[in-house]
Structure 1
Amino acid sequence: MNSSVLVGIVTYNRADLLPKALDSALGQSVPNLKIAVIDDGSKDDTPKVALQFPQVDWTHRKASEGYMSARNELMARPGFDYFVSLDDDAWFLRDDEIAVALQHLNENPRVAAVAFDILAPDQSQRREVGAAQPVAMFIGCGHVLRLSAVREVGAYEPVPGSYGGEEKDLCLRLMDADYSIVRLPGVHVWHDKSPVARIIPHQHRSGVCNDLVMTLRRTPLSVLPVALLSKVFRHLWFSWRTGLMGSCFAGFGLFIRSFSAIWSSRRPVRIETIRAYVKLSRN
């Protein structure tokens, strides 16, 4: 089966690393593979990188609109069966990672997402290729989505914060529609975790807010108060231990200011879905 595949990369001010991501995508042994990059308002030499890769489809935004909206834009492009999301500071290590993922997806129509086995500077030990493992969620820097499933449940929903929580929210909705998410051990993507555009206090503020937003949107009403209180306590505990209390309270404030709008967008999943997600996340 020759599936049509879009590899999408959203980039911002990482002209030094972006070519490595593009070379690794172009080297994949998959037919009908198209690569598209959305430059989310970069101020560096990213336009020069575009000139080096004319075979790639480029979209240049004048100002940053965020990676979530860019990924939604990429997934909305017609004519593709699968969307491979690759960060601009991440790359494949072989030439067959996408092919292996597509084989599993084509053989398992109720699998909606494949998470690659992520390596990084703080976790660099390669693993042997093994059987697919059910997991709670994928990591944004390297995964494949079945676009028919995404169209069924909806893409990434707007959130007040610019970073964090979108993968969990989408995975909950996919699981609630009786799809599964798997990880492929040993089918690696390297994530370099570039410090460019990573401002930890800002990311923490955003992550705290978006996690509470996801909880408000997806948790059944019968357990919502307990779920929100538990989240608040966990964020306070983590932030106290890591010296990020100011960012934590800023995230709480952003969530409170957005509460009314988020409440109107509530679409809870089943309590069974929450239980299944929690069980998988503990494995």
Structure 2
Amino acid sequence: MGTTPLVSAIVTTHNRKELLPRALDSVAVQTYPRLELVVVDDGSEESMESLVNDYKEVLSVQYLRNEQPQGACRARNQGIEAASGAFVAGLDDDDQWDKGRIKVLMESYSDGYAFVTSDVRMVYKKGSPIWRKKKRITLDDLLYTNYVGNQGLIKRERLLEVGGFDETLEAAQDYDLWIRLADRFGPIKNVQKPLQNVYLDHGGERISNPRDQLHGYFAFYQKHKEKMNESQRKYQLYNIRKATGKVTRLTDVCGWVPLHRLWKEVKSLLGGTILS
């Protein structure tokens, strides 16, 4: 046991009392032998402490509570800062791990990769298609789009080294972190097995505030655009423009519109309030 690294499972939650037990149950049944549970309650109207404490019989548990919501990024950073594990693995409070997820990810981990993730089941009311990802996700891949998704298993010291989640961003916070980790530590390894369920079949309140999401994504784009080539910049701007409902096909924008014109169109669609 002394040579088996401790992994901290970090679950951030906000007003999800009905859904949270599913996530915590999936942590409690992991086959990996050394696991800590860190729950950050980000200002839920009703404390989750008694619910979380029920897991102390099977897990080492930390419960942190913000009396007022601080936002998803701050809550996740609080979990990382409080974690005792050499590795951390995030889990959204409405999602669920397969019981072998952490064991498989730890067996697949190598320091030659920034971190390790896996394929995912996307659970809808009418089915559960599998999101199959590339075995090796490079920085160049990520500068086009977020091939990782929203979770991985990562060395805690690496997260601290790159500064954790950017608390100034209002959107694409996970995506931003993956780019910084890949830029610093190399490509991401993906286990091509679906080891997590991401539930999209409910209308519960989300920890992320949807306010100004497009402006937040544009701020993300501005933060990383110097790393991007022209094709990557166009694709990113296309996705922002598409989200406004002003374009339906990639070729409508990326095929012939010059980059500077596309940038001006996106800026205009967002109200002209974006800094150059």
TM-score, normalised by the number of residues in structure 2 = 0.74
Q: CA deviation digits over 1:244-276, x for unaligned, max 9? A: xxxx999935963xx4xxx9xxxxxxxxxxxxx
Q: 1:209 aligns with which of 215, 225, 229?
A: 215
Task: Give the secondary structure class of the aligned counterpart of 1:235.
Answer: helix
Contact 1:209 1:254 in 2 (8 A): no
Task: Give the secondary structure class of the aligned counterpart of 1:89.
Answer: coil
Contact 2:123 2:129 in 1 (8 A): no
Where does 1:1-283 land on structure 2 (aligned, <5 Å)?
A: 1-44=3-46, 46-54=48-56, 55=59, 56-77=61-82, 79-93=84-98, 95-105=99-109, 108-122=110-124, 124-125=128-129, 133-135=135-137, 136=142, 137-140=147-150, 142-161=151-170, 164-193=171-200, 194-198=202-206, 203=210, 205-220=211-226, 227=233, 231-240=236-245, 252=270, 256=274, 259=275
Q: Aligned in 2, Cα 1:143/1:240: closer, same or farther, shift over 3 Å?
A: same
Contact 1:10 1:40 in 2 (8 A): yes
Q: Distance in 2 between matches of 1:127 and 1:165?
A: 19
Q: Aligned in 2, Cα 1:232/1:109: closer, same or farther, shift over 3 Å?
A: closer
Q: Given residue 67 of structure 1, which amino acid in structure 2 is its aligned partner? A: A
Aligned length: 242
Q: CA deviation at 1:58?
A: 0.9
Q: Given residue 236 of structure 1, which amino acid in structure 2 is its aligned partner? A: R
Q: Distance in 1 between matches of 2:238 and 2:129?
A: 33
Q: Aligned in 2, Cα 1:251/1:70: closer, same or farther, shift over 3 Å?
A: farther
Q: Aligned in 2, Cα 1:16/1:232: closer, same or farther, shift over 3 Å?
A: same
Task: Give the secondary structure class of the aligned counterpart of 2:114.
Answer: strand
Q: CA deviation at 1:29?
A: 1.4
Q: Distance in 1 between matches of 2:63 and 2:45?
A: 16
Q: Given residue 78 of structure 2, which amino acid in structure 1 is its aligned partner? A: E
Q: Distance in 2 between matches of 1:252 and 1:212?
A: 9
Q: CA deviation at 1:198?
A: 4.1
Q: Aligned in 2, Cα 1:42/1:221: closer, same or farther, shift over 3 Å?
A: closer
Stretch moving more, 109-118 or 1-10: 109-118
Q: Distance in 2 between matches of 1:75 and 1:231?
A: 29
Q: CA deviation at 1:231?
A: 4.4
Q: CA deviation digits over 1:173-204, x for unaligned, max 9? A: 1222242212212242112234212499x62x
Q: Given residue 196 of structure 1, which amino acid in structure 2 is its aligned partner? A: G
Contact 2:267 2:273 in 1 (8 A): no
Q: CA deviation at 1:47?
A: 4.0
Contact 1:80 1:147 in 2 (8 A): yes
Q: Aligned in 2, Cα 1:239/1:102: closer, same or farther, shift over 3 Å?
A: same
Task: Give the secondary structure class of the aligned counterpart of 1:196.
Answer: coil
TM-score, normalised by the number of residues in structure 1 = 0.72
Consecutive unaligned residues in structure 2, runs of 5 or more = 248-265
Consecutive unaligned residues in structure 1, runs of 5 or more = 243-247, 264-283
Q: Given residue 42 of structure 2, which amino acid in structure 1 is its aligned partner? A: D
Contact 1:14 1:88 in 2 (8 A): yes
Q: Aligned in 2, Cα 1:47/1:29: closer, same or farther, shift over 3 Å?
A: same
Q: CA deviation digits over 1:115-163, x for unaligned, max 9? A: 23221223614699x9x711244222x42112232233221112242xx
Q: CA deviation at 1:77?
A: 2.9
Identity of aligned residues (%): 20
Contact 1:159 1:213 in 2 (8 A): no
